[in-house]
Amino acid sequence: MAQDVEYQPLVLVETADLSREEWLAYRRQGLGGSDAAAVLGISPFRTAVDLYYDKRNLGRYERRRGDDESNVWVSSTDSKAIETYLGPSDKKGYEAILEYQQKQREEAYRRKVISAFFEYGRLKAIPAQRKKERICLEEIAGTLETGRVYEEKEINELIARFHEDFCTIRRDMISEGIMGRKGNTYWKK
C-alpha cells in the first residue's frame, strides 16, 4: 500500500540569479554529494587534495611524474605561503589529506608488489630490490602467530609453503627485524 507523499527539497541558497563566482563561493562552504568520491579517494577525476584546494580556494596544483614513476604534485602556492596563511586547523587538515594519500599510494604499491611476486599463494621469486623483498617477507610473516615461539623445523616448513629457499627467506626475515631468533627458536616480532 503506497502512500502519496510529496517531498520538497530544502533550498539553502537560491542560485538562479548568482554569478558563477558567487555560486562557487557557496559551494566552497561545505561538501556536496559530488565531493564524496574525492573524499573517499575513488574519484577518477579529482583527488582529496584537489577538493581541499578547491574548498580553501588555494589555487591549483599540477601533477608531474616523479623519479619513481609515482604522481607528484607541485602546488602553485608554495609551502611557506600555506604555513603563513592557513590556520592551525586548516594546516592539520591539509597534512591529514597528504598523509592519507601517502598511505593510499603505499598500499597500492604493496598490492602491486604482492600481485607481481605471488602466484597461487606462493612466492615466484625473491625480489632483488630490498623494498619489494621486505613487502614479500611481511606478507609471509603475516601467516605467523604473534607471541608464539616456533622451532626451526616448524618455521622452515611454514616458510617452505611459500618458497623452496626457506633458509634465505628465514635469514632475511631475521635481518629485516620481522622475526627474532635465539638458538633454534624463532618468533614474529
Indicate the domain borders of the chain.
20-115, 123-188
Predicted pLDDT at 133 = 96
pLDDT tens sequence across 120-138:
999 999 999 999 999 999 9
Question: What predicted TM-score, i.e. pTM, was given to this entire model?
Answer: 0.54
User: What are the tens digits of pLDDT across the range 74-108?
Assistant: 443 444 444 444 555 555 666 777 777 788 889 99
pLDDT range class, residue 159, cuts 50, 70, 90: very high
Radius of gyration over alpha carbons of the chain, in Å?
25
pLDDT band for 114, please (50, 70, 90 cuts): very high
Greatest Cα pair distance, the chain, in angstroms, is 79
In sequence order, the 6+-apart residues with CB closer than 8 A to the CB of 189 are 177, 178, 179, 180
- Among 111, 81, 108, 107, smallest CA distance to 94 is for 81
Q: What is the pLDDT of residue 36?
A: 77
Q: pLDDT confidence of 151, banded at 50, 70, 90? A: very high
User: Do 177 and 171 form a contact (C-beta atoms < 8 A)?
Assistant: no
Q: What is the pLDDT of residue 42?
A: 80
pLDDT given at position 85? 45
State how far the Cα of 131 lies from the Cα of 136, in Å rounded to an integer: 9
- In angstroms, the first-to-last Cα distance of the chain is 61
Q: What percent of the chain has pLDDT over 70?
A: 78
Rounded Cα–Cα distance for residues 155 and 62 (Å): 49
Q: Which set of grid coordinates corresponds to residue 79? A: 609551502
| Strand ranges, E, within 44-142 | 61-65, 71-75, 118-119, 122-123
